[in-house]
Amino acid sequence: MILAGGAGSRFWPLSTPERPKQLLPLATQDPLLVDAVRRLTPLVPPERILVITGEALADTVRGAVPELPPNNVIGEPRAAGTGPAIAWAAAEIERRDADDPTMLCVHADWAIGQPAAFRDTLGRAAATAERHAALVTVGIVPTRPDPGFGYIQLGEHVNGAHRVARFVEKPDRATAERMVADGYLWNSGIFVWRTAIFLAEVDAHAREIAPALRSAALGDIAAFFTAVTPVSVDHGVLERSHNVLVVPGDFAWDDVGTWAALRRVRARDAAGNATTGDVHPVQTRDCVVYAEEQTVVLYGVADLVVVARDGITVVTTVERAADLKSMLDALPQRVRDRR
């Protein structure tokens, strides 16, 4: 299953509720969701890929990935975090495949540098999940002490995997540096498990989800999402379970969290500029520029983020682009609502 919910304002003014991050061509010339499906299909045929997204986006998503059967795109009537979305998908997978299926969860809005290594890791994670009847999370070998991610401390070694000793929420920078030095992995949000094992853990631990899942009539998604309490799968299930293994993944993984991430995930020119669209950097270095139906010319600047779309241009620095909230707060509503 591919989680494709969430709007996010971090790519304003490009991301809007109608066109959230996963539908933007941030890592390649194609939307992140299209990249995500393409990355999986050598491993999982399209007819066995489910996409969970907001109800209002379901038709847009179907249009973006026409290789998936239309009823493989599921619209959530209400955003309730990753816990209910994954639980619903697990139940749906069981309805469609009664033969002890194993499910794999990824997000639609990632950039992955080495898709073959990614698929190889998923294969090992699936084998581990099936063999040990465990919840398996993929922990990414960190490339920097990023305080923007959760971390996983490794416990006892189990056949090429580890028990999870501890999940750590987004740390401060000093803690992140110490954890990277101590061999902690990034908590990527890539999960693999047999649906039966996962649903049993939900039943045992996730009081926010389990009652709704039991009482909702088979396949009544509206009833389920009405009854459920929003919770992340990490908090609602994984942190409470005693049956979680972590498989290390050593490939470039980026959650493309901000405009600044485009300097990591996109191809850059000789001067370090990551550009999308009709962009002309002259004597300019290390800029991120996204132009849509616009020409952008830069001259003699560095480390800027410039986003131009029809009718609106934003100019900021790579550093400031990491948090646009105070910018958005300062703008009049009519500008913030431009889309």
Query: Using CB under 8 A as the criterion, which residues of the chain lie in contact with its own copies when the complex forms?
Result: 13, 278, 280, 282-283, 291, 293-301, 304, 306, 308, 311-317, 319-320, 324, 326-327, 330-332, 335, 338
Q: What letter represents residue 69's amino acid?
A: P
Q: By C-beta, is 195 or 273 nearer to its own copies?
A: 273
Q: By C-beta, is 160 or 311 nearer to its own copies?
A: 311
Q: How far is the CB of 321 from its own copies (least distance, A)?
A: 8
CA distance 303 to 319: 8
For the chain, the helix, strand and coil percentages under 3-state DSSP, each to the nearest 5:
35, 30, 35
- DSSP assignment of 202-257 equals HHHH-TTTHHHHHHS-TT-HHHHHHHPPP--HIIIIITT-S-EEEEEE-S-EE---
Q: How far is the CB of 128 from its own copies (least distance, A)?
A: 45
Q: By C-beta, is 177 or 278 nearer to its own copies?
A: 278
Q: How far is the CB of 338 from its own copies (least distance, A)?
A: 6
**Running DSSP on this structure, what letter comes out for residue 141?**
P
Q: How far is the CB of 74 from its own copies (least distance, A)?
A: 36
Map residue 268 onto helix, strand or coil.
Answer: coil
Q: Which residues pair with 154 in a beta bridge?
A: 164
Q: How far is the CB of 303 from its own copies (least distance, A)?
A: 10
Instruction: Write the CB contacts of 239 (distance below 8 Å, at least 6 apart in sequence).
Output: 167
Q: How far is CA 142 from CA 241, 249, 313, in A?
A: 24, 10, 34
Q: How far is CA 59 from CA 64, 72, 128, 162, in A?
A: 9, 11, 36, 40
Q: By C-beta, is 226 or 313 nearer to its own copies?
A: 313
Maximum pairwise Cα distance, the chain: 63
Q: By C-beta, is 66 or 300 nearer to its own copies?
A: 300
Quick count: other Cβ atoms within 10 Å of Cβ 329? Answer: 8
Q: By C-beta, is 108 or 321 nearer to its own copies?
A: 321
Residues 58, 74: contact at Cβ < 8 Å? yes
Q: By C-beta, is 16 or 229 nearer to its own copies?
A: 16
Q: How far is the CB of 19 from its own copies (least distance, A)?
A: 18
Residues 192, 130: contact at Cβ < 8 Å? no
- DSSP assignment of 286-326 equals S-EEEEEEEEEEEES-BSEEEEEETTEEEEEETTGGG--HH
Q: How far is the CB of 183 from its own copies (least distance, A)?
A: 36
Q: By C-beta, is 67 or 293 nearer to its own copies?
A: 293
Q: How far is the CB of 56 from its own copies (least distance, A)?
A: 25
Q: By C-beta, is 220 or 269 nearer to its own copies?
A: 269
Strand-pair category, 151-158 with 73-76: unpaired
Q: How far is the CB of 163 from its own copies (least distance, A)?
A: 44
